[in-house]
Structure 1
């Protein structure tokens, strides 16, 4: 049960991060009611598709991995497609996290964004290089502190909520859908957790459900306090930049609340970065057959962290746009893969629904 709790928190920590922080930026025009309904729908979809990925991982011979999963499900061509999707997804997410972390750290401690990006990458890289267990323990500590900071932020913002702000919106900008979908993008880590939980199906399903429902509850509360504290016009002035959103919230609520907001945002990015990085690290180690010794793990670490760091250094300010493009790759992993699994199991309606959702997310991002 201890590992189950840790696995649920890895999922929740991966989820409650950049996606959560970006939600108010993407959903201000929807309003609180419509955005809440869509978040519930995407959470249900996330749980269902994650369960299917876990079930198929359990049917594999040997350790579970997305590489092995794609090879068995689709053959050589499908394995290549999944590898490309994983690369685009994780590198997009990690570039967004490095970029967001750099912007927040730079505004908080006053150093350059480049130095902040390098520092954040090195810290996460060292933790991931040790083991999944080290990531688990680190994530539990950071996640606990993050929840305390979030509780302080909610307590501080809640009294100032204006009902008029919550009833604004009602439009459905297509750009919001990929961001909301990506907010539940933990599926690449499922094979790693299948191994970590020693292939216990019941505990895996509990971890997935709990790890998804906790972020959903916090997303709804976060939407309530942010959209209820800032007008649509105030959110629009942020230009889709995370550091400006945090600054806007801090400007309206000074005192102890401002550092709490900054602390929560920093830790949200850190835990999300950790969860995604450990999944990418294991995937690349399996894909390139790297050994688990010091030399092999160092090589895997370079493959994992150097590309997103370079993107963040040479393309600063890509936080929201990187999350949008990550949604396309996430759809391949979290929806297309289980859709094909469903078809193989003669569950054609289920597969068709997942493919339809994939089409909606991809079209929304491409049109945007």
Structure 2
């Protein structure tokens, strides 16, 4: 740990890395993937998951190993604290998270551009164009990311504010008591994904000289800003788009098509200003996350394969070629990728494993150990839900008949 505590300004700029990592594909997907559960289940569930995810991030950040080994990333960390099985368990989960997120960002921007930009290009062309621009930014490293991220976050906040102002006149009446808690269960994996920032925790610790108080402040501040934006956006979309509509411009129709929330909003609000703002917000929001995730993936691959692969160019190709390949093969993979990331990756690596840490580090019967078992149980449920949905054992779809009876006024 350094002699001097990090300045408030450095804490804030570092916190924006957390926010930038959170506010990406998740904020665009959540209103669509969680909306059919109803207002109260969506909002209350989101707040609960945000608090839990922030706590698991702090659990990882406070592990002494990260402070004592400044060059280590998560695989080495989990190997040290949980043994070889912990390392390879984390490697597999991290590959799902990082590659899945990058793929989702590429597919999400491509679908937004293809449906909103008047230039008629196929999805694969938009995907390639965005890949070149976003990957160039991500290739500069964490120092440039920290400085450039503040600029992107400022632009994103301005666009976010503009979107809220533009959708407000289109708010409709809504039955706040209506809800489908059963459907909320199916949204757990993507809800976990929306509040994931944990891959940048080692970077945050190094940036703030492993100052525990500064790191904790940065994580709570950054995740709090991201959660506030996510909730505001989710509520705004739910008050603007009908859950079900004859013309197909609805939350349920967007869920079935697997597209971000901005796509049906553009179909409903045909203002040129709104179209430009929605495209800008989607691109900037996903770019901030793409940058943070790309930097984290390069660091992760260096940590795992650094002894075998010493070429920076090869590491770069290993990081960025698979996502563009998957995106080109499966252009409509946006929501599906986020569900897989949350169910099999984030919930396992940043939910179950932190719980295991608390169980191993706590005394028998202690509060720490009980909290560990609670985390393991909760995130095991997320894993089982996604596994059941992917294997066809559990099919939870929006209740169209139920929501057709709750018409907007």
Q: Could you say whether these structures have the same fold, taking a TM-score greater than 0.5 normalized by the shorter chain as the test?
A: yes
Hey, what's the Cα distance between the residues in 2 that align with 1:261 and 1:271? Answer: 16
Q: Which moved more, 1:163-172 or 1:341-350?
A: 163-172
Give unpaired runs (5+ residues) of structure 1: none
In structure 2, how many angstroms separate the alpha carbons of the residues matched to 1:39 and 1:267?
23
Secondary structure at the aligned position of 2:13 is classed as helix
Q: Is the partner of 2:163 in helix, strand or coil?
A: helix
CA contact (8 A) 1:94 1:277 kept: yes
Q: Confirm whether residue 171 of structure 1 aligns to residue 215 of structure 2.
A: no
Structure-1 residue corresponding to 2:262: 246
Q: In the superposition, relative to structure 1, how do residues 230 and 165 fare at CA in structure 2: closer, same or farther (>3 Å)?
A: farther
Q: Does residue 1:348 correspond to 2:369, yes or no?
A: yes
Residue 293 of structure 2 aligns with which residue? 276
Deviation of residue 101 (structure 1)? 1.6
Partner SS state of residue 182, structure 2: coil
- The residue aligned with 1:319 is 334
User: Which of 234-243 and 117-126 deviates more?
Assistant: 234-243
Q: Is contact 1:96-1:322 (8 Å) kept?
A: yes
1:59 is displaced (CA, Å) by 4.8
Q: Hey, what does 1:142 align to over in structure 2?
A: 152
Partner of 2:247: none
- Indicate which of 15, 30, 48 corresponds to 2:37: 30
**Equivalent residue runs for 1:107-126 within 5 Å:** 107=115, 108=117, 109-126=119-136
Contact 2:237–2:261 at 8 Å: present in 1 too? no
The answer as to 2:318 corresponding to 1:303 is: yes
Indicate if the aligned counterparts of 1:162 and 1:229 stay in contact, CA closer than 8 A. Answer: yes
C-alpha deviation, 1:229, in angstroms: 0.6
Pick from 99, 113, 116: which aligns with 1:105? 113
CA distance in 1, matches of 2:163, 2:219: 27
Paired residues of 1:29 and 1:171 also in contact (CA < 8 A): no
Name the SS for the 2:37 alignment partner.
coil
- Paired with 2:218 and 2:375, the residues of 1 have a C-alpha distance of 22
How far does residue 244 in structure 1 lie from its aligned partner after superposition? 6.8
Partner of 1:94: 102
SS in 2 for 1:28: helix
* Structure 1 residue aligned with 2:406: none
Instruction: Provide TM-score, normalisation by structure 2.
Output: 0.85
Stretch deviating more after TM superposition (331-340 or 146-155):
331-340
- 8 A contact 1:16–1:268 mirrored in 2: yes
Which of 55-64 and 188-197 deviates more? 55-64
The alpha carbon displacement at 1:322 in A equals 0.6
Contact 1:166 1:228 survives alignment (8 Å) = no
In structure 2, stretches of 5+ residues that fail to align are 1-7, 245-249, 363-367, 390-409
1: distance between equivalents of 2:208 and 2:353?
A: 22
Cα contact 2:22–2:226 (8 A) shared by 1:
yes
Change (3 A) 1:245 1:21: closer
CA RMSD of aligned residues (A): 2.0
Where does residue 237 of structure 1 map in the other structure? 253
Q: 2: CA distance between counterparts of 1:270 and 1:331?
A: 23
Aligned with residue 304 of structure 2, among 287, 294, 303 = 287
Larger radius of gyration: 2
Secondary structure of the residue aligned to 1:199 is: coil
Q: Which residue of 2 aligns with 1:65?
A: 73
Q: Give the SS at the match of 1:232.
A: coil
Cα offset, 1:58, TM superposition = 3.6
Could you report, residue by residue, the CA deviation over 1:192-238 in whole angstroms, capped at 9, with x for unpaired residues?
Answer: 22112221111111111011111111122112210001111111122
Contact kept, 8 Å, 1:241 with 1:319, in 2: the verdict is: no
Is the CA contact (8 Å cut-off) linking 1:291 and 1:297 kept in structure 2? Answer: no
Provide the C-alpha distance between the structure 1 equivalents of 2:159 and 2:251, rounded to a whole number of angstroms: 22
8 Å contact kept, 2:39–2:176 = yes
| Distance in 2 (alpha carbons) for counterparts of 1:291 and 1:359 | 34
TM-score (norm 1): 0.94
- Contact (CA 8 Å) 1:100, 1:242: kept in 2 or not? no
Out of 126, 129, 140, the position equivalent to 1:130 is 140
Q: Is the contact made by 1:187 and 1:333 (CA closer than 8 Å) also made in structure 2?
A: no
